[in-house]
Amino acid sequence: MIIDFHTHCYPDKIAQRAVNGLSSGAGIHAYTDGSFGGLSKLMKEQGVGLFIVNNIATDGRRMHNVNDFAVSIDGGNAVSFGSVAPFAEDALSELERLKENGIVGVKFHPYFQDFYVDDPRLAPVYEKLRELGFMVVFHAGSDISFEDTERAEPKRLREAAEALGASAGHDVILAHWGASMQTANVMEELCGYPVYFDTAFGLGYINAEEANEIVKGHGSSRILFGSDCPWSTPERELGFLNSLGLPEEDLCNITFGTAAKLLERHGRNVITP
C-alpha cells in the first residue's frame, strides 16, 4: 500500500478554472481536472491506497469555504487537511472549528498566503496549533510561481518548527524534500532536526545525489512520500524514488510506514488491504 502525503484538489465548480490558472501561472502541466473525483481516480489507477489533500486558504474571505470543502471530503481513503489565513481575525476560532470537525492537519503556503514562516506575529496561531495537537504542513523552500525565495527558507522553517513545538514532539512537515530548490541549506539547517520532509514535486528539482544525502542525513523514518498531484503524479515521483537505489527498508518507510505511524498517532488508523 502506498500513502501519498501531498495532493491537491478543489470544489467541482471551480476546479478546472483553478488548475488552469495555476498551470498557466507556473508554466506546469496539470495531470487531473482539479476535482476530488479526478484526484481519487488517478490515485486508484496508480496504486495509492490513502492520500492526504492539502487545502490552502489564500485569505480570510475564502477561509471558511476552503475548510467546508476540506471537511466534506475527509474520510475513506482521503485525509483532508484544513487551512487558515494566519492573520485573519477569526483564525483561532477557525482552528477550533476544524478540530471539532475531526480534521487532523493544517496546511500553510507562505507565498500564496503572503507571510514569512518565522514572523513573530504568528505566535498566537502557532500556540493554538500546538494546543489543539494538529499536524502542521508548510510549503517549504522556493515556489516556481514567485520570485521571492525567502518566505520559507530552511533557517526560517527551523524557527517556525521550534515555535510549533517540534523539539517537544509536535508534528511539523516540510514539503518538497525539506525546502524546494534549497537543498544545500536543507542539509545544513534541517537534516536530523525533528521534523518530517515530504518528497512532493521533487522530480526535476532535486537530483539523485542530493536526495540520497537527505535520506541518509535525515532518516527514512522522517520522510513521507508525496506527489503534489495534480502538478505531478505518484507514478512519476515513485519512479524518481525507485531510481535512487535505496534499501528496501527505506523505501517501505517513505512510501508507507512513516505516514502510517504519523496518521495513527493522530487517530487515523491505516489498514492495509
Tell me the pLDDT tens digit for each residue of 186-242: 999 999 999 999 999 999 999 999 999 999 999 999 999 999 999 999 999 999 999
**Could you tell me where the DSSP H helices lie in the chain?**
12-26, 36-45, 60-73, 91-100, 123-132, 154-163, 183-189, 208-218, 234-242, 248-252, 258-265
Residue 273, in any domain of the structure = no
Residue 157, in any domain of the structure = yes
Task: Specify the CATH number for the domain of residue 174.
Answer: 3.20.20.140
Residue 245, in any domain of the structure = yes
Q: Which residue has the cell 495513527?
A: 264
pLDDT digits (tens, 9 = 90+) for 159-193: 999 999 999 999 999 999 999 999 999 999 999 99
Give 273's pLDDT tier (boundaries 50, 70, 90): low
* pTM score over 0.85: yes
Tally of domains within the chain: 1
pLDDT digits (tens, 9 = 90+) for 136-158: 999 999 999 898 889 999 999 99
The grid coordinates of residue 13 equal 465548480
The grid coordinates of residue 243 equal 531510481
**Domain extent at residue 198:** 2-265
Mean pLDDT taken over the chain: 96
- Sorted by sequence, the CB contacts under 8 Å of residue 85 that are 6+ apart come out as 57, 58, 59, 60, 62, 63, 91, 113
Q: Which of 118, 107, 27 is nearest to 66 (CA)?
A: 107
Can you give the pLDDT at residue 25? Answer: 80
Can you give the pLDDT at residue 26? Answer: 84
Residue 272, in any domain of the structure = no
Residue 163, in any domain of the structure = yes
Can you give the pLDDT at residue 24? Answer: 84
Residue 271, in any domain of the structure = no
Residue 92, in any domain of the structure = yes
Q: Is the confidence at residue 272, as pLDDT, over 70?
A: no
Residue 15, in any domain of the structure = yes
